[in-house]
Structure 1
Amino acid sequence: MATPWKHNLRSSHSTEIATETTPGFAILDAQWSPHSSMHGEVLAVATSTGRLMLYELQSNDGSMKLASRCSEQVCEASTLVLSLAWHPSQANVVGVTLSDGRVCLCECTGSEQWAPGTAISVSAVHEHSLEAWTLAFASYDSDTAVLSGGDDLVLQLSTLDDHDAVTHRWQDRKAHEAGVTAIVPLSSDLVLTGSYDDHLRLLSAPLAGRRQVLADVNLDGGVWRLKTLGGSCAPASPALSEGTRSLIILASCMHAGTRVVKLSRGRDDVWQFEVLAQFEEHKSMNYGSDFQPSESTLKSIVSTSFYDRLLCLWKFETRGNKGASSAIEPGAESKD
């Protein structure tokens, strides 16, 4: 049994405001829709029984609840939906990766998006020979691309036209020494990746031409999830503009805990990583971390771990584009 829930962060405390038990499956991934203006506060959930679930955050008389909205059996019940991502411009499309290696698009075809009973079509993008751990949408000029990583060490890219017809562009088997577990597109040809080999990498990954590792750093644990602190929250919005010289990254590093990493570009256009801070209160696998968007340089960060069921709230001080302090202020901790 798993429980999707939503917390409210205030000061140094987190308050649970909505919860919904799921007695039939475990949850592998959950992502809020960036298209709330089109269909409300919708949460997409990847399940252990091959199903994509959609929940809606509803408010009634001052109380809030997560209500089941619709679902689709994406694949066989014995196959896990491992990760998901919302399409950057099409609010009726969610990309998913599966434990049998497939990467697919789930498209809601009804007139009312993700309404109960609506039809959802599933189409393949490409495949990995082992588990497909992660995917991300990216913009390559006029093309929307799907990048995915798998346990087969492969990073691959396909593009979609205006009718979502797929063109497979390339596979890369040389950049990683273990499974590819996290992908964050930064610009039209720069991509951050995380891997089981403990490395965070910056890759030059153009639509055509050779892929190249521009910088890498060993974070002492498998890099399972990545977030950039600041910038747009839209799925395919570039985090790096032409004049950007540095970026702060939040990395969930499994048994090593959480890392705050700075990516910077020197005047000679050479990129490098620097570990600014680490949070190691977790006693088991840190599979997820995120931050509360704000204009303040003092960021509230939530990190979670698996076996000890621990949620930690802590703070990190950034200092504009030129750097960050390594001071960490642990906040409230709670167990599910």
Structure 2
Amino acid sequence: MSAIASTLSLTLPLPPSCIAFCPTQPHLFVVGTYHLHGSTNDNNQDHDGDTVIDEPDIQQRSGSLILYKLEGDEITEIATETTPDFAILDAQWSPHTSKHGELLAVATSTGRLVLYELQSNGDTMHLASRCSEQVCEASILVLSLAWHPSRANVVGITLSDGSVCLCESTGGEPWAPGTAINVTAVHEHGLEAWTLAFARYDGDTAMLSGGDDLVLQLSTLDDHDAVTHRWQDRKVHEAGVTAIVPLSSDLVLTGSYDDHLKLLSAPLAGRRQVLADANLGGGVWRLKILSGSGAPASLALPEGTRSLIILASCMHAGTRVVKLSRGRDDAWQFEVLAQFEEHKSMNYGSDVEPSESTLKSIVSTSFYDKLLCLWKYETGEDKDGSDAMADSRA
């Protein structure tokens, strides 16, 4: 396992909570920030591993969306949208640009779902607020979100009260200003619902979610959003489930507070089974597929694929580059290839610039020290000579 050094590091004005590269303009990325007024994140002190939302709800939160441009080894701030009335916990670009342009969905600390549109003004770009809707009580935090894979007017969200919901923009152009948003409950967790992902199961759209109650659960949706709850599992994870990446209708990657990255067999019917497991030394907060050009958060695993490379944000342990491979006996295993450990506090967000190149540009962040780092990783070719997932994808 190799240690990686940054090519550039910046100190941000506020603690960063999430980061996302724009899929259609891969040189651009956005960082969401989260500032709890009167808390210890005012003085850059690290905490003992608790997540930022564990702070008292009565305190005021604010934040910002910072748009950056990456060119080679240089990062330039393009524009900043301050959010004085809420902090930001998650931000995800829409994959449906042909339907409504370049939209960014933002999860807030005041129960609002906010949509921003990437706009140009001559040679400059900025994010303009397009749609904002109160989707739950203001005392409830929207913790994470995901775009529906085929419906441009639907976003899934998870909440600090344990709820997992669908938000549907109704009537006219999706997410147009003033558009009504219908909220449909899907299922619930006993504690905070940290994460969710959409997947396809036997032709059905499914929602997987993970919570602080150790539960991973799945529900399927029909074309009218009628929900069928399929299963919940509280035996696989020993702490809260914080990251989910479906790979196929059976295989799912998960991350947890228990420091473990797991590959699960999680069929629509039948028992869940752990196929591979690795302790990454820190809570696995977010996962990205590193191999491939613009690899989405959820993708089908091609037939015959023997390996893929994963980027893991590991909270107090920094960032890991992990290889998942399948041997000739069809057994799966994880191998930590590299680690980036210049972050001195919670690594909540990391992302990779969408690119065909095997030399990946990665930007990672850490919360209390307000650090943003640029570093490189060469995915290259598998040791056994077979192509990595990015190159084997049809």
Q: Which runs of 5+ in 2 are unaligned?
A: 1-61, 386-394
CA distance in 1, matches of 2:374, 2:216: 33
Counterparts of 1:53-92 in structure 2, within 5 Å, are 53-92=114-153
Q: Which moved more, 1:96-105 or 1:158-167?
A: 158-167
Q: Which amino acid aligns with 2:170?
A: T
Counterparts of 1:70-149 in structure 2, within 5 Å, are 70-149=131-210
CA distance in 2, matches of 1:317, 1:234: 19
Decide whether the 8 Å contact of 1:245 with 1:321 is kept in 2.
no
What's the counterpart of residue 233 of structure 2? 172
Decide whether the 8 Å contact of 2:363 with 2:372 is kept in 1.
yes
Once the two structures are superposed, residues 79-137 of structure 1 have per-residue CA deviations (whole angstroms, 9 ceiling, x without a partner) of 00000000000000000000000000000002111111111100000000000000000
Q: Which runs of 5+ in 1 are unaligned?
A: 325-336
Q: Which amino acid aligns with 1:130?
A: L
* Shift in CA distance, 35/323, structure 1 to aligned 2, threshold 3 Å: farther
Decide whether the 8 Å contact of 1:255 with 1:286 is kept in 2.
yes
Q: Which amino acid aligns with 1:276?
A: L
Q: Which moved more, 1:114-123 or 1:11-20?
A: 11-20
CA distance in 1, matches of 2:313, 2:237: 18
> Sequence identity, in percent?
82
Decide whether the 8 Å contact of 1:246 with 1:322 is kept in 2.
no
What's the counterpart of residue 52 of structure 1? 113
Q: What TM-score, normalized by structure 1, do the two folds share?
A: 0.94
Once the two structures are superposed, residues 212-234 of structure 1 have per-residue CA deviations (whole angstroms, 9 ceiling, x without a partner) of 00010000000000001134644
What's the counterpart of residue 191 of structure 1? 252
- SS of 2:99's equivalent? helix
Q: Which moved more, 1:98-107 or 1:1-10?
A: 1-10
Counterparts of 1:170-319 in structure 2, within 5 Å, are 170-231=231-292, 233-238=295-300, 240-319=301-380
Q: CA RMSD in A?
A: 1.2
- SS of 1:20's equivalent? strand
- SS of 1:4's equivalent? strand
What's the counterpart of residue 8 of structure 1? 69
- SS of 1:103's equivalent? strand
| Structure 1 residue 164, shift from structure 2 partner | 1.3
- SS of 1:251's equivalent? strand
- SS of 2:98's equivalent? helix
Decide whether the 8 Å contact of 2:291 with 2:379 is kept in 1.
no
| Structure 1 residue 18, shift from structure 2 partner | 2.4
Moved over 6 A (4+): none
Q: Which amino acid aligns with 1:18?
A: A
More relative contact order, 1 or 2 (CA 8 Å, 6+ apart) = 2
Decide whether the 8 Å contact of 1:284 with 1:305 is kept in 2.
yes
- SS of 1:114's equivalent? coil
